């Protein structure tokens, strides 16, 4: 494994590190892996997990690029007025172009934690070069969906808790905190369900394109509640039929901080990589061409 620091993109101002496999491990049938920023944490990722993921996957045979979106980490702020949602997708595409130009890689698997997962999914939706995405704790689908999922979780927990029922019946409940949460459920429901329905349609379209879609959640993460609003009962069926792969990491927070949860996350990513090495999730035509050659 070898690492190189680079400046790339249209204005040569995006800072990234590429981890290349050794010559012996290099394979032109494997997709390139791109790791996307989690929030404003620079490209090393929360708890340096991007570095660990990149080095692990490069050892298996993948070329892995981790980089900073403009204005994050070491990358320069953009000169235009593009909103982050658009510039992040565009810059991910510039990362793909860089890997194509310098490594000849034409297909990609994107990995992102939290907001990085959202950019991964958005890029996968609009770019056919993306053949797989590992979305780790995606939750920032927009304020309405998040607030609705949060309020819905509160009510689910509250309604199944005998102690809270007892408080409500005996008049000991704190109605000042209850009523805003109740209002949120009703006020944001319509908009949240509309957003959720659009995202569900996007997921179905990715599945139709046979994208290797892997959803990884920390147990109890709000992203799981969002996913429940988005796909509901369909989720179990899609997972059962292998159309998407759902993994839950127990005892982990949103960014898998503890070493034990980092190990579990690494294992999930490593398994995904091994599946790709064995031909799973890299597209049937790709496998066929590599078998023929």
Partner 1 sequence: MSIDTPGAGIEPFYFGTDKKLFGCYHAAQSKVPRDCGVVLCYPMAQEYIRSHRTYRQLAYHLSKFGFPVLRFDFYGCGDSEGNCEEGRVYQWLTDIGSAISEIKERCGSVKTCLVGLRLGGTLSMMAGAERGDIEGMVLWDSVLSGRTYIQELAILHRDRARHSLGKAKQDTADERPTEILGFPLTDLMLADLQHIDLLSIRQKPANRMLVIASSEEASQGRLRTHLKSLNANVDYQNVSSPEIWIEKNKTVVPNEILKAVVSWISRVYP
Catalog residues that contact partner 1 under the rule CB under 8 A.
3-7, 13, 15, 17, 40-44, 46-48, 51, 70-71, 73-77, 79, 218-220, 250-253, 257-262
Write the DSSP string, 169-221: HTT-S-HHHHHHHHHHHHHHHHHHHHHHHHHHHHHHHHHHTT-EEEEEEETT-
Closer residue to partner 1 (CB): 46 or 138? 46
Q: How far is the CB of 33 from partner 1 (least distance, A)?
A: 16
Q: How far is the CB of 16 from partner 1 (least distance, A)?
A: 8
Token code pair at residue 247: 């993994």
DSSP state of 244: S
Q: How far is the CB of 7 from partner 1 (least distance, A)?
A: 7
Closer residue to partner 1 (CB): 29 or 150? 150
Would you say 239 and 245 are in contact if contact means Cβ atoms under 8 Å apart? yes
Closer residue to partner 1 (CB): 142 or 220? 220
Q: How far is the CB of 126 from partner 1 (least distance, A)?
A: 26
Q: How far is the CB of 77 from partner 1 (least distance, A)?
A: 4
Closer residue to partner 1 (CB): 15 or 151? 15
**Among residues 271, 276, 292, 272, which one has the least CA distance to residue 27?**
276
* Burial (Cβ within 10 Å: 0-12, 13-18, ≥19) of residue 180: exposed
* Burial (Cβ within 10 Å: 0-12, 13-18, ≥19) of residue 218: buried
Q: How far is the CB of 252 from partner 1 (least distance, A)?
A: 6
Closer residue to partner 1 (CB): 77 or 169? 77
Closer residue to partner 1 (CB): 43 or 122? 43
Token code pair at residue 114: 């939290």
Q: What burial letters (b/e) apply to 260-290, b meaning 16+ CB within 10 Å? A: ebbebbbebbeebbebbbeeebbbeebeeee
Q: How many residues does the chain have?
A: 293
């Amino acid at each position: 494994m070898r690492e190189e620091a680079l400046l790339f993109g249209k204005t040569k101002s995006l800072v990234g590190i590429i981890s290349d496999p050794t010559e012996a491990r290099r394979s032109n049938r494997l997709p390139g892996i791109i790791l996307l920023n989690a929030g404003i944490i620079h490209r090393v990722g929360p708890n340096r997990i991007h570095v660990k993921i990149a080095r692990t996957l490069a050892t298996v045979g993948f070329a892995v690029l981790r980089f900073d979106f403009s204005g994050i980490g070491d990358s320069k702020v953009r000169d235009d007025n593009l909103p982050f949602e658009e510039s992040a997708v565009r810059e991910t595409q510039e990362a793909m172009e860089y890997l194509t130009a310098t490594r000849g890689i034409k297909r990609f698997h994107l990995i992102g934690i939290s907001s990085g997962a959202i950019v991964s999914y958005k890029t996968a939706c609009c770019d056919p070069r993306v053949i797989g995405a590992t979305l780790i704790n995606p939750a920032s689908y927009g304020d309405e969906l998040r607030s609705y999922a949060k309020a819905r979780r509160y009510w689910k927990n509250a309604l199944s808790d005998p102690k809270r029922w007892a408080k409500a019946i005996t008049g000991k409940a704190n109605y000042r905190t209850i009523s805003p949460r109740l209002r949120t459920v009703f006020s944001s429901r319509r908009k949240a369900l509309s957003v959720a329905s659009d995202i569900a349609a996007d997921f179905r379209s990715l599945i139709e394109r046979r994208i290797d879609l892997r959803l990884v959640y920390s147990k109890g993460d709000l992203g799981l509640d969002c996913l429940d609003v988005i796909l509901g009962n369909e989720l179990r069926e899609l997972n059962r039929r292998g159309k998407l792969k759902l993994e839950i990491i127990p005892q982990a927070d949103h960014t898998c901080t503890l070493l034990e949860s980092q190990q579990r996350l690494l294992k999930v990513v490593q398994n995904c990589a091994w599946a790709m090495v064995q031909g799973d999730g890299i597209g049937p035509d790709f496998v066929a061409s590599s078998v023929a050659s």
